[in-house]
Amino acid sequence: MQIKAPRGTYDILPPDTGRWHYVEKILRETAEIFGYQEVRTPIFEHTELFERGVGTSTDIVTKEMYTFKDKSSRSLTLRPENTASCARALIEHSIYSGILPAKWYYIGPMFRYDRPQTGRYRQFHQFGVEAFGSNNPYLDAEVIILLVEVLKRLGLNDYELHINSVGCPQCRELYRQKLIAYITPVKDKLCSDCQTRYEQNPLRVLDCKEDTCHRAIAGYPTLLEHLCHDCARHYAAVKEALKASHIDFQHDDNLVRGLDYYTNTAFEIHIPGIGAQSAVGGGGRYNGLVAECGGPDLPGIGFAMGIERLLLAVDTVAGREINAGNTDVFISIMNDAYEPQALELLTRLRLAGIRAEKDYMGRSGRAQMKYADKLGARLAIIIGEEEIAQGFYTLRDMQSKEQVQISDQDIINSVKHRLAIA
RNA sequence: GUGGGUGUAGCUCAGUCGGCUAGAGCACCAGAUUGUGGCUCUGGGGGCCGUGGGUUCAAGUCCCAUCACCCACCCCA
């Protein structure tokens, strides 16, 4: 039986890797312009970190983690997300006693044992940013502006940004009580999923898609009306800042993000038309996280984006195609006796910083030209009997088909010159 | 974890009621054009028909199982 990539994983091969580089470059550049620096944390961590950081009631922790024991019986887990690791690193290296806010970004693979689907994999890639140490609402806005800017730079102008505030532990608990009181009389009318949500996390009943549930709880009290004074002011400032920055968004009472660590601002960004998994990014404020992981009481805000979903969107919505040629110059020899000279010149071109290639399959002269064409070469250098006898190279422009004779000492500069103006 | 769909060449897919040596297009290689690419034409290499079992004189085709992928639920990025 042939061995294949495990379920939910896949290979990224050329020329696809070029598309990844293109997206990754935009992500890194944008983050750095906004003042975020890259962090790289381990791919696996102690299981306890995610249990505490993500929350034991979440789907991620209860059923989606890749957990294993190492040879010393430590329980380790392949990271399902990177925010908890960032908080751990921040604490471990006492970053909080340095210059604040600490503004980090990351990019890399995450792992969740989930049923694969369009835009959903078991090993997938996230880009994300985290800003620790400030509870300033304008930092919330900065992070959202960065998220939107990334989409704009990828040509994804058609997005839906939803925001909400989930308050602080105090006002959220008060609201939870009210909501439970509101739902309890109509509990029996809810779908079976909502029956369990009602027990575990009543707020999640709000974003159920079932019509019957919507009707059953119609007129429910909203989080927005129950925010405490500070939380309400914080949320108002975020919205005001987004408006001032001309960012379109919509308040969404039903946006209740699943992870336990969120406080105050929560947001999610969708791109219509890429399937059921249309959330390309989501995040929020997590003021309780650092303390929960054993550090000081330090606020934080961040988001994560799914790179597979971004690529899906770039393909299906933005319709962008990125394919640069493999090479610029191809050396064609008309007799295999010229292999040594060809390789010598090839290396000289390469050491001069020029992407150059030759044939290694024993192709005929004609086939070498076909090959050059497939590689996207803009220039071909032809070495045949006449060239060897008289000591020059034939330089062919693949587009115009013009050919000129160039001496050995001029060849590098001539190639450079032609590539620069082409 | 639940429901539905699909597995045939590297890719996209035909393959009738179970019946001769399993096909096409694209891609790849070669030739036409022995010193020159894109177009065209000709030829060639490539298949455990996802895997395992069953029914049958006979299975790519029917049945069962299994695995994988796709779509949706769930959840999320």
Q: Are strands A44-46 and A75-78 parallel, antiparallel or unpaired?
A: antiparallel
User: Quick one: how far is CA A144 from the chain centroid?
Assistant: 15
Residue with tokens 């001309």: A246
What is the structure's pLDDT at A322?
A: 53
What is the structure's pLDDT at A320?
A: 55
What is the structure's pLDDT at A323?
A: 55
What is the structure's pLDDT at A258?
A: 64
Q: CA dist A401 to A355, A380, A397, A398, Å?
A: 20, 10, 5, 5
Higher pLDDT, A325 or A58: A58
Q: Are A393 and A383 in contact (CB under 8 A)?
A: yes
Which nucleotide is closest to A194, CA to C1'?
B74
Which nucleotide is closest to A278, CA to C1'?
B77
Q: Provide the pLDDT confidence category of residue A1 given band limits of 50, 70 and 90.
A: low
| The model's pTM | 0.91
Q: Are A100 and A132 in contact (CB under 8 A)?
A: yes
- CA/C1' separation A283–B77 (Å): 10
A312: amino acid identity, one letter:
L
- For residue range A61-71, list pLDDT tens digits in order: 888 999 999 99
Which nucleotide is closest to A279, CA to C1'?
B77
* Two structure tokens written together for A253: 């009472």
d(CA A383, CA A414): 16
Asked if the domains at A16-168+228-317 and A329-419 fall in one CATH topology, the answer is no
The structural domains of chain A, with segments of one domain joined by +, span: 16-168+228-317, 329-419
- CA/C1' separation A118–B61 (Å): 31
- CA/C1' separation A5–B54 (Å): 30
- For residue range A231-275, list pLDDT tens digits in order: 999 999 999 999 999 999 999 988 887 677 789 999 999 998 888
A329-419 topology per CATH = Rossmann fold (3.40.50)
Which nucleotide is closest to A268, CA to C1'?
B77
Q: Are strands A356-358 and A393-397 parallel, antiparallel or unpaired?
A: unpaired
Neighbours of A138 (CB within 10 A): 15
List the nucleotides on chain B closer than 7 A to a protein CB: 1-2, 28-31, 33-38, 50-51, 67-77
What is the structure's pLDDT at A218?
A: 79
pLDDT higher than 90, residue A410: yes
**Of residues A398, A386, A401, the one with CA closest to residue A335:** A386
pLDDT higher than 70, residue A324: no
The 3-class SS string of chain A reads CCCCCCCCCCCCCCCHHHHHHHHHHHHHHHHHHCCCEECCCCCEEEHHHHHHHHCCCCHHHHHCCEEEECCCCCEEEECCCCHHHHHHHHHHCCHHHCCCCEEEEEEEEEECCCCCECCECCEEEEEEEEEECCCCHHHHHHHHHHHHHHHHHCCCCCCEEEEEECCCHHHHHHHHHHHHHHHHHHHHHCCHHHHHHHHHCHHHHHHCCCHHHHHHCCCCCCHHHHCCHHHHHHHHHHHHHHHHCCCCCEECCCCCCCCCCCEEEEEEEECCCCCCCCEEEEEEECCCHHHHCCCCCCCEEEEEEEHHHHHHHHHHHHCCCCCCCCCCEEEEECCHHHHHHHHHHHHHHHHCCCCEEECCCCCCHHHHHHHHHHHCCCEEEEECHHHHHHCCEEEEECCCCCEEEECHHHHHHHHHHHHHHC
Q: Provide the pLDDT confidence category of residue A318 given band limits of 50, 70 and 90.
A: low
A16-168+228-317 topology per CATH = BirA Bifunctional Protein; domain 2 (3.30.930)
- CA/C1' separation A45–B4 (Å): 38
- CA/C1' separation A381–B45 (Å): 31
Which nucleotide is closest to A193, CA to C1'?
B74
> How much is the average pLDDT of A113-133?
94
- For residue range A336-377, list pLDDT tens digits in order: 999 999 999 999 999 999 999 999 999 999 999 999 999 999
Give this complex's ipTM.
0.87
A376: amino acid identity, one letter:
G
- CA/C1' separation A1–B18 (Å): 28
Q: Provide the pLDDT confidence category of residue A197 given band limits of 50, 70 and 90.
A: confident
> How much is the average pLDDT of A199-217?
75
Residues forming a β-bridge with A421: none
Rg (CA), chain A: 28
Q: Are A55 and A289 in contact (CB under 8 A)?
A: no
Determine what percent of chain A is predicted with pLDDT higher than 90.
Answer: 71
For the ranges A40-44, A172-176, A373-377, which has the lowest average pLDDT?
Answer: A172-176
